[in-house]
Amino acid sequence: MADKQVYRLKGLSCTNCAANFEKNLRQIESIQEAEVNFSAAKLTIFGDATIEQLEQAGAFDHIKVYAHNQGTPRIPVYKKRENLLTLSSLLLIIVGYSFYFQLGENHVATVGAFLLSIIVGGYDLIRAGIKNIAKLQFDMKTLMTIAIIGAAIIGEWAEAAVIVFLFALSEALEGYSMDKARNSIKSLMEIAPNDATIKRGKQLVQISVEDVRIGDTMIVKPGEKIPMDGIVREGRSFVNQAAITGESAPVEKKVKSTVYAGTVNEEGALVVEVTKLSEDSTIAKIIHLVEEAQTKKAPTQAFVDRFAKYYTPAIMLIALMVMVIPPLLGGEWQTWMYNGLAVLVVGCPCALVISTPVAIVTAIGNAARNGVLIKGGIHLEQLATINTIAFDKTGTITVGKPVVVEVNAIHGTKEELIQLAGSLERYSEHPIARAILKKAHDVSLLEATQFQSYTGKGIVAFIDGVCYKVGNAKLFEGYDLPIVSGGTVVYVGSDEQILGYIKVADQPRKGIKQHVQKLYQLGIVKTVMLTGDVENVAKQIGEESGITEVKAELFPEEKLSHIKRVKERYRVAMVGDGINDAPALAEAHVGIAMGGAGTDVALETADIALMGDDVSKLADTISLSKRTLRIIKENIILALSLKVVALLLVIPGWLTLWLAIFADMGATLLVVANALRLMRKTAEIDSHSRDHHEIT
Ligand code: ADP
Ligand code: MG
CA of residue 488 to ligand 1 center, whole Å: 9
Residue 208 has pLDDT above 80, yes or no: yes
What is the side-by-side order of every strand in the sheet holding 258-259? 203-208, 195-200, 217-220, 270-274, 230-234, 258-259
Domain 373-397+510-627 homologous superfamily, CATH = HAD superfamily/HAD-like (3.40.50.1000)
**Which amino acid is located at 84 in the chain?**
L
Q: What's the pLDDT at 565?
A: 95
Torsion of the alpha carbons at 368, 371, 373 and 374, rounded to the nearest 10: -70
Q: Which ligand is nearest to the CA of 601?
A: 2
Q: Which ligand is nearest to the CA of 455?
A: 1
CA-closest candidate to residue 496, choices 411, 373, 420: 411
Q: Is 392 annotated in the active site?
A: yes
Nearest-CA residue for atom 3 of ligand 1: 531
Instruction: Tell me the three-class secondary structure of 26-79, residue by residue.
Output: HCCCCEEEEEEECCCCEEEEEECCCHHHHHHHCHHHCCEEEECCCCCCCCCHHH
- CB hemisphere CA count around 114 (13 angstroms): 25
The CA radius of gyration of the chain, in Å to the nearest whole number, is: 32
What average pLDDT does the segment 273-301 reach? 81
Per DSSP, the three-state class of 23 is helix
Instruction: Give pairs for 166-169: CB < 8 Å, separation 24+.
Output: 166/661, 166/664, 166/665, 167/122, 167/125, 167/348, 167/350, 168/82, 168/85, 168/86, 168/89, 168/121, 168/122, 168/125, 169/86, 169/665
Residue 694 has pLDDT above 60, yes or no: no
* pLDDT tens-digit map of 543-590: 999 999 999 998 888 999 999 999 999 999 999 876 677 888 889 999
Q: What's the pLDDT at 172?
A: 83
Q: Contact at 8 Å (CB) between 387 and 570?
A: yes
Partner residues linked to 142 by β-bridges = none
Q: What's the pLDDT at 117?
A: 96
The DSSP secondary-structure symbol of 473 reads G
Nearest-CA residue for atom 7 of ligand 1: 456
CA of residue 431 to ligand 1 center, whole Å: 8
Active-site pick, 139, 392, 533, 620:
392
What average pLDDT does the segment 642-646 reach? 88
What are the respective helix, strand and coil percentages of the chain, to the nearest 5?
50, 20, 30
* Interstrand relation of 195-200 and 203-208 (parallel, antiparallel or unpaired): antiparallel
Residues within 5 A (CB) of ion ligand 2: 394, 580
Q: Do domains 4-73 and 195-280 have the same CATH topology?
A: no
Mean pLDDT of the chain: 86
Task: Kindly provide the b/e burial profile for residues 450-472, where b requires at least 16 CB atoms within 10 angstroms of the residue's own CB.
Answer: eeebeebbbbbbbbeeeebbbbb
- Ligand 1: nearest atom to the Cα of 393: 3
Q: What's the pLDDT at 687?
A: 38
Alpha-carbon span 561 to 552, nearest angstrom: 14
CA of residue 455 to ligand 1 center, whole Å: 7
Alpha-carbon span 144 to 664, nearest angstrom: 11
Q: What's the pLDDT at 574?
A: 95
Task: Tell me how crowded residue 25 is: count the other CB atoms within 10 A of its CB.
Answer: 22
Per DSSP, the three-state class of 378 is helix
Instruction: Tell me the three-class secondary structure of 214-228, residue by residue.
Output: CCCEEEECCCCECCC
- The answer for 159, left when phi > 0, alpha when psi is -120 to 50, beta otherwise, is alpha
As to burial, measured by CB atoms within 10 angstroms (0-12 exposed, 13-18 middle, 19+ buried), residue 134 is exposed
Q: What's the pLDDT at 602?
A: 67
- Ligand 1: nearest atom to the Cα of 489: 16
Q: Which ligand is nearest to the CA of 429?
A: 1
Among 3.40.50.280, 2.60.40.1120, 3.90.280.10, 2.70.150.10, what is the CATH number of 195-280? 2.70.150.10
Q: Contact at 8 Å (CB) between 382 and 333?
A: no
CA of residue 89 to ligand 1 center, whole Å: 70
CA of residue 414 to ligand 2 center, whole Å: 28
Banded pLDDT at 91 (limits 50, 70, 90): very high
| Cα-based angle 287, 293, 299 (whole degrees, multiple of 5) | 170
Residue in 391, 417, 424, 457 to alter for ligand 1 test, most ligand atoms within 8 A of Cβ: 457
Task: Tell me how crowded residue 556 is: count the other CB atoms within 10 A of its CB.
Answer: 17
Alpha-carbon span 656 to 159, nearest angstrom: 10
Window from 183-192, 381-390, 536-545 with minimum mean pLDDT: 183-192
More confident residue, 597 or 272: 272
CA of residue 427 to ligand 2 center, whole Å: 17
Q: What's the pLDDT at 71?
A: 47
Torsion of the alpha carbons at 325, 329, 335 and 338, rounded to the nearest 10: 0
* pLDDT tens-digit map of 494-539: 988 999 999 999 989 989 999 999 999 999 999 999 998 899 999 9
Residue in 472, 488, 492 to alter for ligand 1 test, most ligand atoms within 8 A of Cβ: 472
To the question of pTM greater than 0.85 for the whole model, the response is no
Nearest-CA residue for atom 14 of ligand 1: 533
Alpha carbon of residue 382 to chain centroid? 14
**E strands in 393-506:** 403-409, 449-454, 458-463, 466-471, 488-494, 498-505
Nearest-CA residue for atom 12 of ligand 1: 456
What average pLDDT does the segment 614-638 reach? 93
Alpha carbon of residue 321 to chain centroid? 45
Q: What's the pLDDT at 256?
A: 92
- Ligand 1: nearest atom to the Cα of 531: 3
What average pLDDT does the segment 345-366 reach? 85
Alpha-carbon span 31 to 53, nearest angstrom: 11
Alpha carbon of residue 157 to chain centroid? 45
CATH number 2.40.30.10 is the correct assignment for the domain at 4-73: no
Please list every protein residue whose CB sits less than 6 Å from any atom of ligand 1: 392-394, 425, 428, 430, 432-433, 455-459, 470-472, 488, 490, 531-533, 556, 580
The DSSP secondary-structure symbol of 393 reads I
Alpha-carbon span 101 to 468, nearest angstrom: 99
Question: Which fold would CATH assign to domain 403-505?
Answer: Calcium-transporting ATPase, cytoplasmic domain N (3.40.1110)
Domain boundaries, the chain: 4-73, 195-280, 373-397+510-627, 403-505
Nearest-CA residue for atom 22 of ligand 1: 458
Q: What's the pLDDT at 682?
A: 52
- Ligand 1: nearest atom to the Cα of 576: 2
Residue in 426, 432, 438 to alter for ligand 1 test, most ligand atoms within 8 A of Cβ: 432
Residue 65 has pLDDT above 90, yes or no: no
Q: Which ligand is nearest to the CA of 578?
A: 2
CA of residue 430 to ligand 1 center, whole Å: 7
Q: What's the pLDDT at 311?
A: 84
Residue in 481, 501, 533, 555 to alter for ligand 1 test, most ligand atoms within 8 A of Cβ: 533
CA of residue 395 to ligand 2 center, whole Å: 7
Contact partners, residue 683, CB within 8 Å, separation at least 6: none
Alpha-carbon span 182 to 188, nearest angstrom: 10
Sign of CA pseudo-dihedral 641, 302, 625, 284: negative
Q: Contact at 8 Å (CB) between 319 and 344?
A: yes
Alpha-carbon span 163 to 657, nearest angstrom: 9
Q: What's the pLDDT at 157?
A: 93
Residue 596 has pLDDT above 80, yes or no: no
Q: Which ligand is nearest to the CA of 530?
A: 1
